[in-house]
């Protein structure tokens, strides 16, 4: 029989379509379900069923528009691999399974035209694949007929206002610039400048940590605490000024003060400060006189201690000024060469509280280095300290 040349799966799919859509009540159903109704065409054998077109035994077009189709549209279109045209429009009782269009229609690669407007088919337009949208007709109940394309296939379908809003929202989101990709910076993908910046930051943190440690160590040497034997209370003594207080100084919130010797209540004093006595000159102006060194000052030594006071505090009154400078020089001559280099000179200035910037230290070092060997002798250092401080 000639019908053997026709794809059996497509014939069965058409029969299922006929029964699912109440084919006995179609307006036109000429030849449907009759396998002996065939045509001999140049392209091969074809079934002479109303609304169908065939080529080489394969269905290429199906036009059942305005034909009183009724019921849910079955998912049989996956069998029609050669289908190019599908027209089901103007069948108001036609609906999809669960009210939706079979998604197999979107997978037909040869489909060029698909008209399903005027039906109850929902979920028609795929927002991620549709393009070239045009509203061709507004209808009642917030419905409009829209022409659009999915790939190379042209569609005509009815969309509700809600569906069109979702499409507009999706298109608006598609026009937004893409989000910036945040790349986590690691040691493996950092550039040269980024590596240098990271190294500089780490070095700054390290220096700050060392500075805090030195500052805490300095605080431990500034304040000494004692226990009063009578009351058992603790008081603190500032070794710089000799001033004592019952309250813990604010600087000691994060460190502990050094304990006084044997925790006795005898308060330590700075001998060089106690030697100064207030005097008045012939005009009635007050000044301060040290009977041991025979020095005089207009300012109170506790308010503005000098380098001489610092040397007295460190090395006492038993030594001469020259011997004190000798002791100071030896304390910073770490390598024992009898000279002080730039690093040792910077450490000396910092410990003595001499406010000098690095450039100032270099300038002073060059001006004092009369021998031109890049280091300072004890005579050069002593002359500078006596003349300046």
The pair of three-digit structure tokens given for residue 367, joined into one six-digit string: 């001006």
What is the total residue count of the chain? 389
- The single-letter DSSP state of residue 257 is P
Q: Given the DSSP bridges, would you call strands 258-259 and 244-245 parallel, antiparallel or unpaired?
A: unpaired
Task: Tell me the mean pLDDT in the region 150-175.
Answer: 80
Residue 271, pLDDT above cutoff 50: no
Looking at residue 367, its pLDDT comes to 84
Greater model confidence, 36 or 253: 36
Task: Tell me the mean pLDDT in the region 250-268.
Answer: 57
Residue 84, pLDDT above cutoff 50: yes
CB atoms within 10 A of CB 342: 16
CA pair distance 344, 362, nearest whole angstrom: 12
The pair of three-digit structure tokens given for residue 5, joined into one six-digit string: 């040349």
Helix, strand, coil percent content, the chain, rounded in steps of 5: 35, 25, 40
Task: Tell me the mean pLDDT in the region 165-194.
Answer: 78
CA pair distance 179, 175, nearest whole angstrom: 12
Q: Which domains does the chain have, with CATH numbers?
A: 2-175 (3.80.10.10), 192-263 (no CATH), 270-305 (2.20.70.10), 316-389 (1.10.238.10)
The DSSP line for 150-171 is ETTEEEEEEEEHHHHHHHHHHH
Residue 44, pLDDT above cutoff 90: no
CA pair distance 60, 81, nearest whole angstrom: 9
Looking at residue 3, its pLDDT comes to 52
Give 216-254 pLDDT, tens digit per residue.
Answer: 777 777 788 888 777 777 888 887 777 888 887 777 766
For the chain, what percent of residues have pLDDT higher than 90? 18
Helix (H) or strand (E) holding 259: strand 258-259
**pTM metric for this prediction:** 0.45
Give 130-140 pLDDT, tens digit per residue.
Answer: 778 788 888 77
Report the range of poorest mean pLDDT among 12-26, 101-115, 130-144: 130-144
Q: Which long-range contacts (CB under 8 A, 24 or more apart) does 243-249 make?
A: 249/223
Sheet holding 223-227, edge to edge: 244-245, 234-238, 223-227, 258-259
- The single-letter DSSP state of residue 75 is S
98 CB-contact burial (10 Å; exposed 0-12 / middle 13-18 / buried 19+)? exposed
pLDDT mean across residues, the chain: 80
CA pair distance 258, 220, nearest whole angstrom: 5
Beta bridge partners of 280: 286
């Amino acid at each position: 029989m000639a019908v053997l040349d026709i794809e059996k799966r497509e014939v069965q799919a058409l029969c299922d379509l006929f029964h699912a859509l109440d084919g006995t009540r179609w307006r036109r159903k000429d030849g449907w379900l009759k396998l002996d109704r065939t045509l001999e065409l140049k392209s091969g054998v074809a079934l002479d069923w109303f609304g169908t077109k065939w080529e080489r035994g394969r269905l290429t077009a199906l036009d059942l528009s305005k034909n009183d189709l009724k019921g849910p549209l079955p998912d049989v279109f996956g069998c029609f691999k050669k289908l190019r045209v599908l027209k089901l429009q103007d069948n108001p009782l036609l609906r999809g399974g669960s009210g939706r269009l079979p998604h197999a229609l979107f997978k037909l690669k040869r489909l060029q035209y698909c008209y399903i407007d005027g039906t109850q088919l929902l979920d028609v337009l795929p927002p991620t694949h549709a393009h070239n949208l045009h509203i061709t007709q507004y209808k009642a109940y917030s419905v409009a007929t829209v022409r659009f394309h999915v790939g190379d296939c042209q569609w005509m379908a009815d969309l509700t206002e809600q569906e069109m809003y979702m499409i507009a929202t999706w298109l608006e989101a598609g026009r937004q610039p893409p989000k910036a990709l945040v790349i986590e910076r690691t040691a493996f993908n950092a550039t040269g400048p980024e590596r240098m910046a990271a190294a500089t930051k780490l070095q700054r943190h390290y220096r700050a940590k060392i500075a805090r440690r030195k500052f805490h160590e300095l605080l431990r040497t500034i304040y000494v605490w004692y226990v009063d034997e009578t009351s058992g209370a603790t008081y603190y003594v500032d070794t710089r000024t000799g001033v004592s207080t019952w309250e813990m100084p604010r600087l000691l919130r994060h460190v502990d003060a050094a304990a006084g010797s044997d925790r006795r209540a005898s308060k330590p004093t700075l001998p060089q400060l106690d030697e100064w006595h207030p005097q008045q000159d012939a005009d009635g102006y007050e000044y301060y006189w040290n009977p041991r060194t025979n020095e005089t000052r207009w300012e109170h030594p506790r308010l503005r201690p000098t380098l001489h006071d610092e040397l007295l505090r460190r090395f006492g009154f038993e030594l001469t000024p020259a011997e004190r400078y000798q002791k100071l020089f030896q304390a910073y001559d770490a390598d024992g060469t009898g000279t002080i280099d730039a690093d040792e000179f910077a450490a000396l200035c910092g410990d003595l509280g001499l406010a000098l910037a690095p450039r100032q230290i270099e300038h002073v070092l060059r001006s004092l280095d009369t021998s031109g060997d890049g280091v300072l002798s004890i005579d050069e250092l002593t002359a500078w300290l006596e003349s300046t401080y």
